[in-house]
Amino acid sequence: MLRSLVGSEMCIRDSMYIPHLEVHQVRNLQSLTLDFHNMANIIYGVNGSGKTSLLEAIYLLGRGRSFRHRDLRMVVNHQAEELVVSAKVKKKDPLRSHQLGIKRGASGNFAARLDGKAILTAAQLATVLPMQLIDAQSFSLLEGGPLQRRQFLDWGVFHVEQSYSQLWARFQKTLKQRNQLLRHARIDADSLRAWTAELVPLGEQISAHRKRYVDGLVPHIEAVAKKFDGLGVLEVEYYQGWSEKMSLTEAMDFDSKRDLAVGTTCHGAHKADMRVKVDGMPAADVLSRGQTKLLVYALKLAQATYFRDKIGESCVFLLDDLPAELDYHHRQQVVSCLYSLGCQFFVTGVDKKDFEVLVKDNAYQMFHMEHGAITAG
C-alpha cells in the first residue's frame, strides 16, 4: 500500500535514505529486491516470517555485523555458501550518494565494497550508512551494564568527531598492552610506567570528547522527552571512569596496587558510564517495562536529532516489533517523532492493523512477509 507518494518523496529527498535494497541468503530470505519511496516502511507478518531478518540485513550494511548473533556465519542461509546484501544510499548531496555492498561466506570470509572499491573497516560502513536500532535487547541501554551506555555514547561521538575512531583504536590497543603486562607473574616496572604514560592522555582525550558530546546531547533528550507522556523529570550524568576529584594519573597511581592484584586497569575511559535518572532515581529502578522502552526511544531519537543538527543528515531507524511493550498512545507519539525527524524508518510487527491507524495520515509503504518472501500491500 502506497500513500501520498509525491509529498513523501519531497520529504525523504531532504534526508539520507535507502531507495533500493537487495538481499540474498540472509537466514530465510533467499532473494529479495525492494524499492523504498517513503519515510515509513512497515513490515508485518507472523513470527518467523523473516521480518527481523530483513532489518538484520540492513543492519549488516551499516555495521558489518549482526545484532542477533556474534558469529556472522550463523546468519548465512544454511542451504547457501554465502550471503550478499547491497543497497543504494542516497544523501542530501547527490555527489555523496553511494552503492554499498557486503558479502559473507559460510566459511567466515567477509568482504565489503563502496562504489565498487573494497573497504576494510566497519567504521567506513557506519560513516556511509549511520543507523539506529531499537529491538528487544535495547532495554539493556538502561537496565544493563555500563558497556551498553558507553557504546551509545561512542556511536554519537564517532559520528560528530572525525578523529574519534582513530583515537579509540589507539586507546584500545594501549589498554590491551597494559593489561597484558599486569597479568604477567613478573612485571617490568619501567614498561608498566611507559604504557601508563601512553594510556593516560588517550583516556583523557576520549573523556573530553564524551563530556562535550553529553553536554550537547542533553538539551535534545529534554526536548524529545517532553513529547512523551509519563517519563517524569530526566537527568543525565556522565561518569568519566575515575573520580572527578583526581586527574587520571593520580587515580591510577592511587590504585596501582589494585591494578596489580586484579591484573587489569581499574580506572580510565573504559570504565565510563552515562547515568540516567528519573525524578532523582535511577531510571531502571523506577520505570515500568513500557516506560523503559519509551525512554530508550527518547534517547535514540535525541541522539539522531543531535546527529542531524551537527552533520545535516538524518540516520536510518530500524524498529523491531514497535507495538511490543507500548500502548497505542505512546506508539503514536513515537511514530510522530520519527516523521518530524524526517528520517527513513523500517518497522516490524505482527498485525497490519497496529500500523494502519498509526500512519494513516502520513506517507508510508506496507510490506507483508511470509516464509521469507515479501509482497507490497
Which pLDDT tens digit goes with each residue over 172-198? 999 999 999 999 878 888 999 999 999
pLDDT in the model for residue 13: 53
Summarize pLDDT for 120-176 with one digit per residue, the tens: 888 899 999 999 999 999 999 999 999 999 999 999 999 999 889 999 999 999 999
Mean pLDDT of 11-33: 88
pLDDT grade, residue 12 (50/70/90)?
Answer: low
Q: Which of 108, 127, 90, 116 is nearest to 13 (CA)?
A: 90
C-alpha cell at position 188: 617490568
Residues recorded for the chain: 377
- Where is average pLDDT lowest: 46-50, 170-174, 322-326, 357-361? 357-361
Task: Flag whether pLDDT at 309 surpasses 60.
Answer: yes
Q: State which amino acid sits at residue 156.
A: G
pLDDT in the model for residue 2: 34
CB neighbours of 70 closer than 8 A, spacing ≥ 6? none
Measured distance CA(269)–CA(202) in Å, rounded? 9
pLDDT in the model for residue 102: 95
pLDDT grade, residue 268 (50/70/90)?
Answer: very high
Is 218 within 8 Å of 236 (Cβ atoms)? yes
Q: Any idea which residue has 551506555 for its cell?
A: 149
Summarize pLDDT for 185-234 with one digit per residue, the tens: 788 889 999 999 999 999 999 999 999 999 999 999 999 999 999 888 99
Q: Any idea which residue has 530526566 for its cell?
A: 234
C-alpha cell at position 19: 531507495
pLDDT in the model for residue 162: 83
- Where is average pLDDT lowest: 15-29, 86-100, 124-138? 86-100
Q: Which helix (H) or strand (E) holds 371?
A: none
pLDDT in the model for residue 14: 61
Q: What is the pTM of this model?
A: 0.92
Report the largest interatomic distance among the alpha carbons of the chain, rounded to a whole angstrom.
Answer: 71
pLDDT grade, residue 3 (50/70/90)?
Answer: very low
Q: How deeply is 140 buried, as exposed, middle or buried, from its count of CB atoms within 10 A (0-12, 13-18, 19+)? A: middle
Summarize pLDDT for 331-352 with one digit per residue, the tens: 999 999 999 999 999 999 999 9
Any idea what the Cα angle at residue 214 is, between residues 210 and 217, rounded to 5°?
A: 135
pLDDT in the model for residue 7: 37
Query: Do strands 316-319 and 131-134 pair parallel, antiparallel, or not at all (unpaired)?
Result: parallel
Q: Which of 174, 183, 165, 138 is nearest to 284 (CA)?
A: 138
Q: How deeply is 193 buried, as exposed, middle or buried, from its count of CB atoms within 10 A (0-12, 13-18, 19+)? A: exposed
- Where is average pLDDT lowest: 7-11, 208-212, 255-259? 7-11
Is 366 within 8 Å of 374 (Cβ atoms)? no
Measured distance CA(76)–CA(80) in Å, rounded? 7
Full DSSP string of 178-242: HHHHHTSSS--HHHHHHHHHHHHHHHHHHHHHHHHHHHHHHHHHHHHHTTSTT---EEEEEE-SS
Task: Flag whether pLDDT at 19 surpasses 90.
Answer: yes
pLDDT in the model for residue 9: 41
